[in-house]
């Protein structure tokens, strides 16, 4: 029994009704647990309207369709692309757009860091003014946040540069520019993708396994449940699709 099931089991009927009134704010796992509780305990109770139950079922159906279509992979920055003679995992187009805006916004914010140098110099060379001191702190903080965002976005762009996992009739090819051991390295088509969970469940690693070795390809931190479902679906499609 997951956390949400335990939580809903201890709720009274009025509380369940309040929860189902806010279906769209629930996570995928919470909606599944709520659906299960209602089916088992309250399906014949007129206190919960059939319209609310239908809304819950429709929301879950929409989530399931989006999982199958791999839509939620965009949240973790990758996607699956199918062509006539190959199937490829690579950085998603939406992730490229996010990174573009990340660089643009962070570059703008870094200007505040440069301005903060001017304000600090002006502050120390003039009489103390509280408003000037507060302005210097605010501008410096914005600039530092911009620098952090810039470095994180740049690191992500560098990591995913020319990254792909491609499956053809002949082999599976992994390309990672930052890892010389995986620079267009080829593996037999009998190799399979797997999802490996860390001990604390915070990090999910995409792994390629074959008869001789396990290759850690890419890790995802703090991935939500619905993106994990899409990732699992992607792995199944990659492993089972005949080229």
Q: What is the average per-residue pLDDT within 210-221? A: 87
Q: What is the mean pLDDT of residues 139-160?
A: 87
222 Ramachandran zone, left/alpha/beta (phi>0; psi -120 to 50)? left
Please report which confidence band the pLDDT of residue 206 belongs to, taking 50, 70 and 90 as the band edges: very high
Reading phi first (left if > 0) and then psi (alpha if -120 to 50, else beta), residue 173 is in: beta
Vertex 217 angle, CA 216 and 222, to 5°: 90
CA distance 135 to 50: 56
Q: What is the pLDDT of residue 134?
A: 76
Confidence category of residue 132, pLDDT binned at 50, 70, 90: low
Residue 110 has pLDDT above 70, yes or no: yes
Q: Has residue 201 got a pLDDT over 90?
A: no
Residue listed under structure tokens 């301005």: 115
Q: What is the pLDDT of residue 101?
A: 93
Question: Is there a contact between 120 and 136 (Cβ–Cβ < 8 Å)?
Answer: yes
pLDDT higher than threshold 80 for residue 80: yes
Q: Is this model's pTM higher than 0.85 or not? A: no
Q: What's the pLDDT score for residue 1?
A: 46
- pLDDT at position 131, please? 66
**pLDDT one-digit tens code per residue, 14-73:** 777 788 888 888 888 888 888 888 887 766 666 677 788 888 889 899 999 989 889 889
Q: Flag whether pLDDT at 169 surpasses 90.
A: no
Structure tokens at 186: 């080829």
């Amino acid at each position: 029994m997951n956390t949400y099931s335990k939580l809903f089991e201890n709720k009274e009927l009025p509380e369940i009704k309040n929860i189902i009134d806010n279906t769209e704010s629930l996570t995928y796992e919470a909606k599944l647990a709520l659906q299960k509780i209602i089916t088992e305990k309250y399906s014949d109770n007129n206190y919960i309207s059939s319209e609310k139950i239908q809304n819950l079922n429709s929301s879950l159906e929409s989530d399931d369709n989006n999982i199958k279509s791999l839509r939620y992979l965009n949240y973790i920055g990758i996607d699956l692309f199918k062509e006539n003679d190959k199937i490829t995992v690579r950085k998603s187009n939406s992730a490229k757009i996010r990174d573009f805006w990340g660089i643009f916004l962070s570059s703008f914010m870094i200007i505040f860091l440069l301005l903060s140098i001017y304000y600090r110099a002006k502050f120390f060379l003039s009489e103390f003014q509280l408003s000037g001191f507060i302005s210097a702190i605010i501008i410096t903080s914005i600039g530092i946040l911009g620098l952090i965002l810039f470095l994180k976005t740049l690191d992500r762009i560098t990591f995913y540069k020319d990254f792909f996992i491609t499956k053809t009739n002949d082999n599976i090819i992994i390309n990672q520019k930052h890892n010389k051991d995986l620079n267009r390295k080829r593996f037999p088509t009998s190799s399979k993708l797997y999802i490996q969970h860390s001990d604390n469940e915070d990090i999910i690693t995409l792994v390629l396994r074959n008869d001789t070795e396990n290759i850690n390809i890419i890790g995802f931190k703090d991935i939500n449940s619905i993106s994990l479902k899409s990732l699992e679906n992607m792995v199944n499609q990659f492993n089972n699709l005949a080229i």
